[in-house]
Structure 1
Amino acid sequence: MRSVDDICLDDRVPPWVPVDVRRYIAHTEDGQSIRAIARKAGCHASTVLRQVRRCETRRDDLLIDMGLTRLGLQHAPDGLLDEGTTDMTTAELDSLPDTATLSREAPRILRRLNEPGACLAIAAEMEKAVVVRETSEGETIRTAVVDRAIAEAMALQDWITSSEGGRIQRYRITSTGRVALKRFLAEEEARRAQATADAQPFADQHRDMQDRGTGRRRVRYNAVESPLLTLARRKDKEGKPFLTPDLVAAGERLREDFELAQIGPRVAQNWDRFLTGGGRGDFNPEGATGGSEAARRRVSNALADLGPGLGDVVLRCCCFLEGMESVERRMGWSARSGKIVFRIALTRLKRHYDEATGAWSPLIG
């Protein structure tokens, strides 16, 4: 029986295969137990269990199922292919793309999928997938053709996701796919610039620069770095946004005041005093001098109104940009409960702003 590390180093499994898929193959094909995989990986068994269950659930997706089958049969006992358990030929099983091939083909397809109205179409009996785009006149134009193995690799990495079922599956680019496209483009630009010191391809993949506001209050910021906007892109069970735009605006308003409060001589403001057990009463915003006193006062008033717990989660997520898992661990909350508390805190924060200054924050100066 091979270990997880052996699978990661197996020449038949390309390095691009995600960790959760490797662990799924180790459990389903190599027969390793969840606890054994967790011990070798140095993580909790529940983490591996969730990854295995997620991979199994994703097999309803055509490309995911074909990709996992392709990976699994390479680790199956000898002779399994002779039993007629799969329609894949030996040549198809050997056609898993390596990292160089995927890096060469994926940017071309992701560019096409990033165009408005574009999708990738494929059926079970098709050896190749096609990228089509609908024009404003309702015409359908084929813009690219890609091998099925490449499409499977892109689906396994969450770069594309199925948007329509039926005999012909249609896939569209995901936010993860757009991040990967940015990295590919940054790497290409770095090669053209002969890898100058200013080239930062791996940093650029985490940037999603957007503009907010109008006129004098126009601000350019990185949307990807904020856990608030990460949650705002999620949907609830009914398909509605998990965080409504007014809640997102309240969180961004707190972060804006927090950033303004750091300007000036007192850049070392100790906001940890507002965290649970930090002695909230020791800070007197009225006696603050230097920097942006009004912004510090607005932040302190908002956190005081929210109180312990709710104030902690908005300060950590909106201002300190801590991820939800980190906040849950620090606060001692159960997994996946932090986002519910965060939404309640944002609701209270919005009510505070509505009662304090109305829908708009005061202009600077």
Structure 2
Amino acid sequence: MQPRDGVRAGLPGWVPPAVRHYIEHVEGGAPIRVLARRSAVHASTVLRQVRQLESRRDDPLVDAGLKRLSQCFGSDISEENEMTHHDRHGPRPEAGGEEAEALRVLRRMAEPGAVLAVAAEMAVAAVMREAEGGAAQRLARLDRSLAETLALRGWIAARGETGRVARYRITAKGRAALRAAMPAPPPEPGFAEAQAGFAAASQGARAITNEGPLTLLARRRDRDGRPFLARELVAAGERLREDFELAQIGPRVTQDWSRYLTGGCDGGRGGGAPSGARGRLAAALSDLGPGLGDVALRCCCYLEGMEVLERRMGWSARSGKIVLRIALERLRRHYDGMSGGDMIG
């Protein structure tokens, strides 16, 4: 389908101008000067963009992403239409669910030591981190198409040589996009002219925290020198967090998950994200019940620290981490009993 003003149909709205210029020039044969005049930039700028994209085709995600965009690119249009064309339409907005999914992956990649790993000819990629003892711990999984989108937008870049399993890290541009998408933190209390209460931090502010309680506690050792939280317990908590973040994508993002702690929810365990994630999360919280479920929800999902949790629950100091370990033990048994569920890590 081709609009009457000559704009090529098919390219998603998230496509950056450099990628759009490359596709229109290479696939559509549009002259460099026409693209430059349309975007109100110098022709050398467009030429540099085209050459940079061509040099990045050694990156498997970039190359696959460009091929995917080429397939949805419209048919050629005449040079006369190209020469008289002026792009009066902005890009189509990307679906909110896709943008939220991209930000979810960026949040996990912003954590220390996190890399995105994608294997050749695999439809699913994963965000990994090296856990205690050198074992790989999975933080999130995503479709390969989303990983290609992140690479084309310049939010992730390959780390070293790309072999059978390519590894990517978040870029400065990706961190900037993540910060721009997060809500502004509330003003610090105590400096305003009027008295203000201590408002709880929003979920968005908590979600951008680089290291959560699980990561910090996993580094601690007990009296015998063993990790305070075993790898299996950290994996169970990370799985709960992944389902929580997936459940926030799409409708009902402001859902109050604390109501599932009473056991009166529909604990559906099937389906895909985000509806399947809601079912898995509801089932896990219902199984944990009040108390343990509240601790797991606040520490693993809301990323509340131990001191904040202990004050909120009215517990003595240093007791929260013990209750959290008990909750993670129960959560691990819950996931072990799920049919068809794969553990993270």
- What TM-score bracket applies, with the shorter chain setting the length? 0.3 to 0.5
Larger CA Rg, structure 1 vs 2: 1
TM-score, structure 1 as length reference:
0.43
TM-score normalised according to structure 2 size: 0.45
